[in-house]
């Protein structure tokens, strides 16, 4: 990724934040930290062989073996975000600057799947004129038939200015499908910072998170509701980031931070206030408290059925979560490490 760019201007709108409903209280098990060779491992996923994968802020893609040895396998040259290990073993990569990529884990070769998405509902084919560039490719998943789905958080800003999208409060995120011919189809638009994406254990639906919208929704793939969106969990008290489906079907959600009350106060008021605050140094803007927070939701009822939450001076701002061999692995934009802890039990009652 190139050197730091000038701070962009924003064009905020009045926005009414959703109400907040509390989640159950959870405790934080003992964390084990695994150092990474760089900062900000934003997502963490696991492959069939037991290795874990993550991407660093400088573009490097890292494989972590079960015994903790890390190897840099590739460099996207951008900012890798959400990852997914495909059925054929490739690592699918959302990169804010490079679009949707696929990595051959053996050779380290990177292939571009798409750099564009449709404009105003018009189909996008590769880099055809009718497609606009992907600005903030965020997370990706694959269904059993090999179809790839991905999200874009905002069409206005790259990752390094993600707070600008939150300040603007414009629903410019979307959910997309990559077709076999390389074309891209818009499934859902107008999302408020679309982020994490996973497939339910039964394959009936995609579950996606909206960080600013503070909700989880289902996009139905089968049955009478196919092609529609229904809510799964709303009015969350924190900002959901990447998500994954656990071995027992639970939907694990990483919460990067709690709801920011000053930011919520500003949102429905004059946009000029947010323009003014945006011009201030970062230290004077609403911040992101550092917590270790992840919650498991029932895929049918949307009820919180397990989780972890607490503070650790070594780790926080959780952006990714995945189960592996009885452990819960966590990624973050706030440090140079991954972390893992004992997997909390299911609470069906």
Structural domain harbouring 190: 32-116+130-342
**CA-CA distance, 117 to 138, in Å (whole number)?**
13
Q: What is the pLDDT of residue 119?
A: 87
What is the total count of domains within the chain? 1
Torsion sign over Cα 142, 69, 326, 243: negative
- Straight-line distance from the first to the last Cα atom of the chain, in angstroms, rounded to the nearest whole number: 48
Q: State the CATH number of the domain containing residue 263.
A: 2.120.10.30
> Is position 50 within any domain?
yes
| Helix spans in the chain (H) | 162-168, 261-266, 271-279
What 3 state SS string does 47-72 have?
CCCCCEEEECCCCEEEEECCCCCEEE
Q: What is the pLDDT of residue 126?
A: 40
> Is position 62 within any domain?
yes
> Is position 322 within any domain?
yes
> Is position 214 within any domain?
yes
Q: How many CB atoms lie within 10 A of CB 326?
A: 9
Q: Compute, in degrees rounded to 10, the torsion defined by CA atoms 270, 276, 280, 283.
A: -10
> Is position 324 within any domain?
yes
CB 95 within 8 A of CB 137: yes
φ, ψ at 117 (rounded to 5°)? -135, 165
> Is position 21 within any domain?
no
> Is position 25 within any domain?
no
> Is position 230 within any domain?
yes
**CA-CA distance, 93 to 101, in Å (whole number)?**
5
CB 338 within 8 A of CB 329: yes
Torsion sign over Cα 252, 226, 195, 54: positive
Q: What is the pLDDT of residue 127?
A: 40
Please identify every stretch of the chain with a pLDDT value under 50, giving residue numbers as ranges: 1-2, 121-129
CB 289 within 8 A of CB 311: no
Q: Is 136 exposed, middle or buried (0-12, 13-18, 19+ CB in 10 A)?
A: buried
Q: What is the pLDDT of residue 286?
A: 82
């Amino acid at each position: 990724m190139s050197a730091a760019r000038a701070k962009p201007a924003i064009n905020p709108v009045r926005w009414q934040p959703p109400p907040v409903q509390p989640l159950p209280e959870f405790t934080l098990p003992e964390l084990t930290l695994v150092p990474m060779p760089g900062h900000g491992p934003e997502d963490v996923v696991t492959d069939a062989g037991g290795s874990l994968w993550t991407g660093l802020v400088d573009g490097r893609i890292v494989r972590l073996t079960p015994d903790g040895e890390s190897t840099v396998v590739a460099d996207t040259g951008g900012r890798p975000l959400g990852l997914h290990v495909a059925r054929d073993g490739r690592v699918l990569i959302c990169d804010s600057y490079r679009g949707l990529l696929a990595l051959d884990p053996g050779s380290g070769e990177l292939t571009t799947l798409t750099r564009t998405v449709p404009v105003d509902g018009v189909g996008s084919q590769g880099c055809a004129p009718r497609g606009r560039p992907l600005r903030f490719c965020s997370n990706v998943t694959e269904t059993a038939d090999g179809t790839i789905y991905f999200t874009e958080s905002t069409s206005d800003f790259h990752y390094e200015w993600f707070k600008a999208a939150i300040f603007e409060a414009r629903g410019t995120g979307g959910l997309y499908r990559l077709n076999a011919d390389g074309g891209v189809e818009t499934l859902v638009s107008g999302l408020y910072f679309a982020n994490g994406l996973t497939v339910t254990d039964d394959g009936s639906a995609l579950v996606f998170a909206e960080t600013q919208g503070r909700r989880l929704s289902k996009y139905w793939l089968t049955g009478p509701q196919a092609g529609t969106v229904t809510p799964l969990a709303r009015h969350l008290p924190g900002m959901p980031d990447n998500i994954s489906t656990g071995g027992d079907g639970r939907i694990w959600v990483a919460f990067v931070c709690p709801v920011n009350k000053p930011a919520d106060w500003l949102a429905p008021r004059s946009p000029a206030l947010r323009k003014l605050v945006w011009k201030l140094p970062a230290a004077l803007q609403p911040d992101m408290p550092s917590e270790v927070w992840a919650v498991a939701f029932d895929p049918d009822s949307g009820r919180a059925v397990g989780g972890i939450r607490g503070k650790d001076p070594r780790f926080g701002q959780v952006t990714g979560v995945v189960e592996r061999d009885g452990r819960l692995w966590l990624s973050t934009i706030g440090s140079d490490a991954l972390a893992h802890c004992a997997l909390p039990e299911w609470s069906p009652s």
